Amino acid sequence: MAHQLRFAAAREPISEEYPAVALPHPRCISVAFPPPRFTPSPSPLTNYSFLAALTPQELEMRLQIAMDVQMISKLDQRKLQTMASLLTSDPDYFLMIARNMNGSKRIQKLLGKTDDVDALFAAAILRRFLHIITDKYASYVVRRGMTVFDKKKKKAMYEHILHYASHIARDKHALVLSNDAYGNFVIQRVLKLNDLRSKNNIVVSLRGHFVDLSFQKYGSYVVDVLLETKESMVVVVEELMECEGDMLMRLARNEYGNFLVCKALRVTQKEMVRTDLFWGLVHKLKPFHNLLRWSRGKNIASILNSIR
């Protein structure tokens, strides 16, 4: 296999801008997506400075009044867009709401309603992207957006994710990104930077999930990269050996997993510093040799044959 980043569903260049949306709000808020390094200056029109003086309890009360879930569900398109424009017109106000547990939940309820509303929220998210993606509650707004936004908005989001890849990988988002068509590319990119701290954080975040990831198309790409360096390879293979024999057999016959089990055998055979890893895999796989011969695991069976 060629050792290169695999980015299955997001190869197109991220160059398209979103059309401006005419809003009912008088401020004419722009929904043009800012570049990753963009930091907006404070708006002279903002009137949200009073929020800084609110206690968490007072902010919570205002949120419950202004963004009642049942009320949100009854909004027509115009009122929905008006609410979205009010919430997103000031970057700091939007960030404050998103960082609140219930505020985050309310914003998530507003996403995916209409393309115009999504455009407003996507632009607002990108203006404070690093603060939002690394916050406990605000990050769920990004996750929800990545589920309901259209393809163009997702591309813009991932452009920012790539820009802040090392920060994000250190912030425990590795598992979510690894299972995503775009996000797995971010994780691969960080791993190939050979930054030991970032790599270690990714491995720690994914520990306990390597087998599950190996069954999945996008997750398998990340596990593949982890098998290419000794330190991370050891952690992955140890987890493979800990799973039940039947589970390992199913992985060895899986569309994606068979390649990873085969690769694990080859790299552990080559790195004979840890002979226990290689022989441990062989011992667990040998009872299934005949099943592997006539399935996607035939390459694994060939390796087992070669050491008889």
Q: How far is 275 from 254, CA to CA, in rounded Å?
A: 25
Alpha carbon 271 to its chain centroid, in Å, reads: 32
Distance CA 92, CA 48 (A): 8
Handedness of CA 60, 63, 68, 73 (dihedral sign): negative
- Over residues 108-119, the pLDDT tens digits come to 999 999 999 999
pLDDT tens for residues 235-267? 999 999 998 878 999 999 999 999 999 999 999
What's the rounded Cα separation, in Å, for the pair 64 and 50? 18
Cα→Cα distances 39→35, 42, 91, 92, 125, Å: 9, 9, 10, 11, 12
- For the cut 80, the answer to whether the pLDDT of residue 32 exceeds it is no
Residue 62 pLDDT exceeds 60: no
Q: What is the pLDDT of residues 139-168, one digit of tens each?
A: 889 989 988 999 999 989 888 887 887 777
- Predicted confidence at residue 44, as pLDDT, reads 36
In whole angstroms, give the CA distance from residue 60 to residue 137: 14
Mean pLDDT of the chain: 79
Entry pTM = 0.63
Residue-wise pLDDT for 161-214, tens only, equals 878 877 776 666 788 889 888 778 888 888 887 778 888 889 999 999 999 999
State the pLDDT at residue 22.
31
